[in-house]
């Protein structure tokens, strides 16, 4: 399970099968490769477990290697133009899509807390000020992330740390700032139901998010990000934010 995101840039493939349909083919392609490896090791049975949100609750779907092969084979029909697409962040088919896998590792969370200590004051005259303003004055209270920390779904833990880290803040209304607030605004701050996604990062918010992520990951004269999975995936997420801002489109998240 993961936080999925996509640069919401229009293309012919999305027009034909929809953004979610295209991503389902890509996920099936990735899962099929892993399923084949499992088969070589002699492992059998349902492989891919997907949790699908519905209005009346959640549905758990299981797929076999055969199911995944059938779904992934269609991907080639719709990705011939991906190489030249300006929204291709990762390279390769459906490069406008990325993900941040759970659990969010402790090393990256500790690094984020360290880098953002006092950053609302140091970055006051930059677009990052808007990021902290949304936390201080908006509805972002970290509740959604606190819920994820306390829960497990189908054996998946969402955060390695059971408790958030306090972040020393200098601005008004930020006395209780924690990593829960930061992660909530980064990924879950703007709820919207659009094309099967539960959240969006609207174009108006992109400059603030970009500035905060740049400060965390690329700040000069500071410690380097840890060699940890979440930190590496955050770097790709930053590129997606930069790309969406350049193209003046939203980033969709789920």
Question: Which pLDDT score is estimated for 39?
Answer: 65
Kindly report, residue by residue over 55-87, the tens digit of the pLDDT: 555 544 555 666 666 666 677 777 788 889 999
Taking the C-alpha atoms of residue 210 and residue 227, their distance in angstroms, rounded to an integer, is 21
Binning pLDDT at 50, 70 and 90, where does residue 49 land? very low
Tokens coding 205 = 């918010």
**Parallel, antiparallel or unpaired: strands 152-153 and 197-201:** unpaired
Average pLDDT over residues 132-141: 88
Kindly report, residue by residue over 105-125, the tens digit of the pLDDT: 999 999 999 999 988 888 888
Kindly report, residue by residue over 160-176, the tens digit of the pLDDT: 999 999 998 878 778 89
- In the numeric block, the tokens 């700040």 are attached to 219
State the Rg of the chain over Cα: 19
């Amino acid at each position: 399970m993961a936080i999925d995101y996509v640069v919401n840039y229009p293309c012919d493939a999305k027009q034909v099968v929809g953004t979610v349909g295209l991503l389902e083919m890509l996920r099936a392609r990735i899962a099929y490769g892993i399923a084949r490896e499992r088969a070589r090791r002699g492992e059998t049975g349902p492989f891919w477990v997907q949790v699908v949100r519905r209005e009346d609750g959640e549905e758990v779907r299981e797929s076999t290697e055969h199911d995944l092969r059938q779904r992934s084979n269609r991907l080639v029909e719709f990705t011939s133009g991906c190489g030249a697409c300006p929204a291709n962040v990762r390279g390769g088919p459906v490069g406008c899509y990325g993900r941040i896998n759970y659990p969010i590792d402790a090393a990256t969370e500790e690094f984020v807390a360290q880098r953002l200590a006092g950053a609302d004051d140091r970055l006051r005259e930059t677009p990052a000020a808007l990021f902290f303003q949304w936390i201080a004055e908006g509805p972002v209270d970290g509740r959604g992330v606190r819920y994820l920390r306390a829960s497990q779904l189908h054996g998946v833990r969402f955060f390695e740390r059971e408790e958030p880290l306090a972040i020393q803040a200098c601005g008004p209304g930020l006395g209780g700032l924690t990593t829960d607030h930061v992660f909530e605004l980064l990924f879950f701050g703007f709820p919207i139901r659009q094309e099967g996604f539960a959240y969006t990062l609207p174009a108006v918010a992109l400059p603030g998010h970009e500035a905060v992520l740049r400060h965390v990951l690329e700040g000069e004269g500071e410690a380097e990000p840890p060699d940890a999975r979440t930190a590496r995936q955050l770097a790709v997420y930053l590129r997606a934010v930069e790309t969406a801002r350049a193209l003046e489109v939203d980033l969709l998240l789920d």
